[in-house]
Amino acid sequence: MKQFANLINTVELTNKTNDKIDAFVDYFSKAPDKDKLWLIAIFTGKRPKRPVKTTLMREWCMEIAGIPEWLFLESYSTVGDLGETLALLLPNPSRSDDRTFSEWMQDIVDLRTKSDQEKEAFIRNAWSSLDMQERLIFNKLIGGSFRIGVSKKTLVNALAKYSGLEANQLMHSIIGNWDVNSISFDALIHGKHINYDNSKPYPFCLAYALEKDLNELGSIKDWQIEYKWDGIRGQIVKRNNEVFIWSRGEELVTKQFPELVEVIQSLNGDFVIDGEILALKDNGILLFNDLQKRLNRKNITKKLMEEVPIGFYAYDMMEWEHKDIREYPLSERRQRLENLFESNSVEGKRLFLSDVITVDTWAELHEIRAQARSKDSEGLMLKQKESPYHTGRKKGDWWKWKVDPLTIDAVMIYAQKGSGRRSAHYTDYTFAVKKDDGLVTVAKAYSGLTNAEILEVSRFVKQNSIEKFGPVRIVKPELVFEIAFEGIALSNRHKSGVALRFPRISRWRKDKPVEEIDTIETVKQLIYSTH
């Protein structure tokens, strides 16, 4: 465990991705193979199920530390993380323990089937033999998420640097089906259990924000124009009856979208296509926040699939029947994509062709962009018809032309401390606008303030909270913020009757008194003006 704790410690003492990678490389070159396998397992969501209830762990901790429950809760609310709170409250160890990381993990796996007494003895024994950093790691391994500012991608880059193997292949290898006890570290990273030829993705072609006048782009006839969607950029690879979905961050997200995999599986031909994964419901596109639920869950339940149904808007094809066609002009690739859709019956099957907008003049396009919100789109994409599918970001052939955000002025009425790195400050706010003589909440927003502003708001919250509701502080309605958002729709789920799409704080209106914030009526008018 010491070796693993040292790795985590080193990673936490630097902000530099390269240093983190070096720390992992160092670990890979020194740690036992079994430890390395467990490390990869944990970073890829292959964690053992929680063997002990957290409420029990809390009770034991309070008893050992000799503190009452209210003091435990105060501590927890300050720390913002249960595993860390326990680690901080427990006394220093009375002895040490030499079990390796993988031995600890195996013990945790085996714990599930043990009796309650054995579980309690195991946890107490662990706590009294691990130092602060090790206790924290141990508590995290028992249950809860373990975030240390290292993404799957960083881990893969470290493995690539250590082994000299290709990063995407490693991504496929570690994501694939494997079990710590039935594979060697070497076999795992060399992908003995997978067929990388079937999953290998292409680098995504990326667009720049439009920075010139439309007329400078030449004839509109040379451009393919589509709506821009605010979803998850995805590359679908289908080869030899295997289907893979890669996200733009070069992570495999296949398991997150089982219903999409099923549809793709049923199509004729092998191909690689590019498009956008969107949450589609009731003839509209759900908020990105909803879509994100699909990414963050380890298991995609039936309930979640019904709650957040997804679809794929395809807009490009990079490979057809194992032939790389990225050098073909876009117009031809588009034709092949349309052929794929025509030769398969995809009607109502979550698979859609991204519509091509045909207009005769650039002037008309301004009009269409202005109406983009009524389609739940965030703007337009302009793609040169002759262009190849570029590797990465290349200026000139693909442009994104987003609509300007909508804004309202609202007052902060609730504040809550953030979690993780934001746990010390009030960073999550709820905003309201005027309704009759009172206020009604319209949005929750987290981002958009500088650290200095967050400290200032936090101080205001501490000094002006009217009431406490668990972790939520009701504050004096005084601070006015401009809230920007991408779209607005009527909603029954929200008390105000409206739902904002991707709301965030655009600026703090220190100049504006609370009397001058927007009313719910003016907010609702935005719906009619955008649809």
Q: Which residues are catalytic?
A: 228
Q: Yes or no: say if 410 and 431 are a contact pair by the CB < 8 Å rule.
A: yes
C-beta of residue 312 within 8 angstroms of C-beta of residue 277: yes
Instruction: Candidates 97, 456, 497, 506: give the one binding other proteins (CB under 8 A).
Output: 456
Nearer to other proteins, 419 or 441 (CB): 419
How far apart are the C-alpha atoms of 233 and 246, rounded to whole Å? 8
Report the C-alpha gap between 524 and 522 in whole angstroms. 5
Cβ distance to other proteins smaller for residue 344 or 458? 458
Nearer to other proteins, 78 or 184 (CB): 78
* Contact code string over 18-37 relative to other proteins, x by CB under 8 A: -x------------------
266 binds other proteins (CB under 8 A): no
Q: Which stretch binds other proteins (CB under 8 A): 8-16, 159-167, 199-207, 338-346?
A: 8-16
Least distance (Å) between residue 138 CB and other proteins: 15
Place of tokens 């013990």: 107
Nearest Cα to Cα of residue 428 among 488, 505, 486, 493: 505
Reading the block at residue 355, the tokens are 């519509």
Residue type, 308: V
| Residues 107 and 119: beta-carbon distance below 8 Å | no
The enclosing H or E element of 242 equals: strand 242-247
According to the binding rule CB under 8 A, does residue 424 interact with other proteins?
yes
If binding is defined by CB under 8 A, does position 475 make contact with other proteins?
no
Among 68, 164, 348, 392, binds other proteins (CB under 8 A): 68
Strand partners, 409: 482
Annotate each residue in 375-414 with x if it binds other proteins (CB under 8 A) or - if it does not, as one string: ----------------------------------------
**Distance of CA 361 to CAs 224, 225, 228, 369, 404, Å?**
13, 12, 19, 13, 21
Does residue 3 interact with other proteins by CB under 8 A?
Answer: no
Among 25, 67, 109, 474, binds other proteins (CB under 8 A): 67
| CA 507 to mean position of chain CA atoms | 24
Determine which residue in the list 455, 472, 474, 489 makes contact with other proteins, applying CB under 8 A. 455
Ranges within 82-111 binding other proteins (CB under 8 A):
84-85, 88-89
Report helix, strand or coil for 495.
coil
Is residue 230 within 8 Å of 277, Cβ to Cβ? no
Single out the residue of 63, 69, 74, 364 in contact with other proteins (rule: CB under 8 A).
Answer: 74
Among 29, 55, 70, 303, binds other proteins (CB under 8 A): 70
Residue ranges in 271-330 that form contacts with other proteins under rule CB under 8 A = none
Short-list 90, 85, 89, 72, CA closest to 127: 90
Collapsing DSSP to helix, strand or coil, 57 comes out as helix
- Judged by the rule CB under 8 A, the positions of this chain that interact with other proteins are 10, 12-16, 19, 65, 67-68, 70-71, 74-75, 78-81, 84-85, 88-89, 136, 149, 418-425, 451-452, 455-456, 459
